[in-house]
Amino acid sequence: MCLPQTGSFVALRLDPMTMVENLRNLNLTAACRDLKLGTYVAYISQLDQVVSPFPSPHVSAALHFVFQGIPPNEFDWIEGIQQDMSIPILPNARHPFRRTPLNPGVPLPWKNCYISPLVVAWAKAVPVLIDPTHIATPQEQKRIRSVMDADVNSWNTMGRGKHMAAPAPQRALRRSPRRRLRSDVGGYRNAKHSAKLADHSQEESDAESFHTAQSSQSGVDSTSSLLEYVSSSAQRFGDDVDILRSLAVAIGQQKAALEPIVNLSSDLSLVNGILSPQKYLNELDLILRLIYHFEVAEIRRPFWRADYVQEASPTTPIANHKSWFARTFLTWQGRRTRCMNMVLASVVTLTAMIRYALKSVYNTNDQEERKA
């Protein structure tokens, strides 16, 4: 067997170095290298393929974070989580409604552990040939799947805890640090596209990596399900099948691009204690802020300033491992192309303005000659 594996419990940690390697930004890489990230425990409820125009070694996994204690009524943007909407994990057998605990094969090394069907994050991981230590049987996975579906349907019926009708759990509408970063013109969108982090619309989620259990359990976000649906509807759609198939692939590519990359391990002894899943989101926010700082904020600074390299993230110091000349040279090399593009755009604009002015003068003279 290998990880990630459906029904297994894993120790996971964000991998910012791999997330930003395509940007090829030395300062951003150094900042990510200095990050001190936590290790979290999660239950894998579903796997999905990673759709990419290039070969990808990753597999997408739905991660249900393990809480120590009953999950809170509110988590990030999710509201109205009832106490009974939780699943105890052996050796813990306590539940407000005496729900049968999840049997991970080998009991977890901590007491009073729960998972919530509503608190799930999608992330990408490289499969590794490791036998999971804590994994539920197929029959147990099927039972847990039905329990999760029931909790999600109940949450939908309650209108996300607001006593109003809601067809499905909607993603975040509140303004978070990730939303504030994305509101800064189009620069951050370009940076995220380069980093394989596609942008969101204003009405969409805080982060597409943070899904609800509805999407993870129903398979709506699964590209393979979309492709099967399109193939089965070939007679009904006729010539539009190719368009729908392309749309399904595009949706899958966007979903995969938005998911962070994590490292997985089956050795839960690496975890000193159960960390709050909210810290995972805070760490992901910090990585996005670093990308914004080094790939967007610095672009708008004057290119003749070399001291910008010494300015680090307000929360993470960066080692000054290069000489002033080397840093200045790298700064100029990185900005020379941008400066040339700006000059070229200015020349084109000025040429168009001159042509328009000459054309206006010519038309005026021509009209005067006709009147004469």
Q: Answer whether residue 334 shows pLDDT above 80.
A: no
Q: 181 Cβ partners below 8 Å, 6+ apart?
A: 188, 288, 289, 292
Distance in angstroms (rounded) separating the CA atoms of residues 116 and 176: 22
pLDDT digits (tens, 9 = 90+) for 283-317: 988 988 888 888 776 554 443 333 333 333 333 33
Q: Tell me, what's the pLDDT at 175? A: 39
Q: Answer whether residue 166 shows pLDDT above 50.
A: no
Distance in angstroms (rounded) separating the CA atoms of residues 227 and 326: 50
Per-domain residue ranges of the chain: 9-293, 323-372
Q: Tell me, what's the pLDDT at 243? A: 55
- In 233-323, which residue ranges form alpha helices assigned H by DSSP? 234-237, 241-258, 277-295
Residue bearing the bigger pLDDT, 215 or 43? 43
pTM above 0.85? no
DSSP line for 60-127? EEEEEEEEESSPPS-BTTB----TTS-EEETT----TT-PPPB--SS--SSSSEEEEEEEEEEEEE--
Mean pLDDT, residues 227-243: 51
Q: Of the given ranges (191-195, 198-202, 229-233), which has the lowest mean pLDDT?
A: 198-202
Cα dist. 234→221, 240, 243 in Å? 20, 8, 11
Highest mean pLDDT of the ranges 31-40, 228-237, 328-337: 31-40
Q: Tell me, what's the pLDDT at 164? A: 34
**Contact, 12 vs 123, CB < 8 A?**
yes
Distance in angstroms (rounded) separating the CA atoms of residues 264 and 8: 11
Mean pLDDT, residues 337-360: 71
Q: Answer whether residue 225 shows pLDDT above 80.
A: no
